[in-house]
Amino acid sequence: MASTAYSIAQESYAALGVDTEAALRRLATVPISLHCWQGDDVAGFEQVGDLSASGLAATGNYPGKARTIDELRQDVGQVYRLLPGKHRFNLHACYADLGGRKIGRDAYTIAQFQSWIDWAKAHGLGLDFNPTFFAHPKAADGFTLAHADKGIRQFWIEHGIVCRRIGAEMGRQLGSPTVTNVWIPDGCKDQPVDRTSPRERLEASLDAVFAEKIDPRRHLDAVESKLFGLGSESYVVGSHEFYLGYAIKHQKVLCLDAGHYHPTETLTDKISAVLQFIPELLLHVSRGVRWDSDHVVILDDHLRGIMEELVRGDFLDRTHIGLDYFDASINRIAAWTIGARNAIKALLIALLEPTAGLRAMEGAGDNTGRLAMLEELKTMPFGAVWDEYCRRQDVPVGNAWLAEVRSYEQAFLSLRA
């Protein structure tokens, strides 16, 4: 039996021509890829280099971060129990299961990731993947695939190559394509004289990384640009224009990270433009506060705008939705949960829009009606539909999830000194 609040909401939406049951059915088919790195502040299990050399920084010192693979799996397992729907896991190569051995990143094989695949299979999760071009002695000067030194470049090319093979094997074993996303930190603190050569080297390196053909039913390549980073304020080799061009030329998946543009730019306006020229998108749903700060995703206009675009443009089947933030200042399980639940909730809100009616008004030049309706929608009872979804999916309703996080913290996190 549906709750009374839901029944009333269902009627209110029906009056606008929106079928809440259809929205819930669609919502259940869209996975969100949970990023491993929220669980341990992007530390990974190799710990051979410094994160800050690559312009990334996790700020905060909230106790209880995952220190081992088992802890990370246990922690994210708790998060999945709080999320309605079936989702994915997004792994970085530096989370390899090395079994105490020292193995170079250029020599990784599926052996270092088999335990992750087994874990994913046991939990019914699809896996996504990322080569790790940071936190490593060979990335200590902030350059990798665009490095002027051929030997260093080659090391990172090999890393990219082995990671694609690992990603493909993940996809094969799990029966769902793995999206392997390339992001590199390469850039300069101060204005370089030569902006061209590093970009030429990056293009050649990417061509080498992507040379091997891989069945798209197992594996997809994505490339991610950035505007600037700490220490790369003046120049980033892999800028938006660079990767947009590369993705169009080679028909790669383009990764749009919500924190990687000028503060007044939104992904909302980019989605339809880039999807005209590339096959598929990867989203790094994130929240920049003044800069690419990777704050926990909240239910704000940017998030809602992104999800609205995916629904309005009928782009869901061409988009892989991932999260990308890392907050070390609050309970990490809560950080993961809040951002992921918000992404799902924003998608639900978008699915509850009477888009056809809005389009009809727009087409007829009735911009008054369009604005009026968009504003009315903001106070529609989507919360009751969300609660019903959580109830049916057998996960905590409303803020009940927080009590579970608190008892998990008591039982496990607080014991991690």
Q: Are 321 and 267 in contact (CB under 8 A)?
A: no
Judged by CB under 5 A, the chain residues 323 through 342 that form the site for Zn ion are 324
Task: Work out which of 224, 309, 353, 388 binds ligand RNT, going by CB under 6 A.
Answer: 224
x/- contact string, 257-296, with Zn ion (CB under 5 A)?
Answer: x--------------------------x------------
- In the complex, least distance from residue 284 CB atom to Zn ion, rounded to whole angstroms: 4
Q: Is 35 in the site for Zn ion (CB under 5 A)?
A: no
Judge whether 224 counts as a catalytic residue. Answer: yes
Q: Is 415 exposed, middle or buried (0-12, 13-18, 19+ CB in 10 A)?
A: exposed
Cβ atoms within 10 Å, residue 295: 18
Q: Extract the tokens encoding 176.
A: 């769902």
x/- contact string, 313-342, with ligand RNT (CB under 6 A)?
Answer: -----------x------------------
Give CA–CA dist 171/261, Å, rounded.
Answer: 31
Give CA–CA dist 6/294, Å, rounded.
Answer: 34
**Which amino acid type is present at position 203?**
E
Which residue lies nearest ligand RNT, judged by its C-beta?
A: 183
Q: Are 34 and 50 in contact (CB under 8 A)?
A: no
**By C-beta, is 184 or 188 nearer to Zn ion?**
184
**By C-beta, is 88 or 284 nearer to Zn ion?**
284
- In the complex, least distance from residue 258 CB atom to ligand RNT, rounded to whole angstroms: 9
Q: Are 173 and 121 in contact (CB under 8 A)?
A: yes
- In the complex, least distance from residue 92 CB atom to ligand RNT, rounded to whole angstroms: 6
Judged by CB under 6 A, the chain residues 225 through 254 that form the site for ligand RNT are 226
Angle at 316 between CA 312 and CA 318, to 5 degrees: 120
Under 8 Å CB-to-CB from 54, ≥6 apart: which residues? 133, 134, 135, 139, 142, 185, 229, 231
Judge whether 183 counts as a catalytic residue. Answer: yes
x/- contact string, 173-202, with ligand RNT (CB under 6 A)?
Answer: ----------x-------------------
Q: Is 284 in the site for ligand RNT (CB under 6 A)?
A: yes
Give CA–CA dist 284/287, Å, rounded.
Answer: 10
**By C-beta, is 46 or 324 nearer to Zn ion?**
324
Element spanning 89, H or E? strand 88-92
Judge whether 294 counts as a catalytic residue. Answer: yes
Give CA–CA dist 335/38, Å, rounded.
Answer: 8
Set 41, 75, 186, 257: catalytic member:
257
Q: Is 144 in the site for ligand RNT (CB under 6 A)?
A: no
Judged by CB under 6 A, the chain residues 28 through 87 that form the site for ligand RNT are 37, 42, 56
**Annotated active-site positions, please?**
183, 224, 226, 257, 260, 284, 292, 294, 324
In the complex, the residues that contact ligand RNT under the rule CB under 6 A are 37, 42, 56, 92, 130, 183, 224, 226, 257, 284, 292, 324
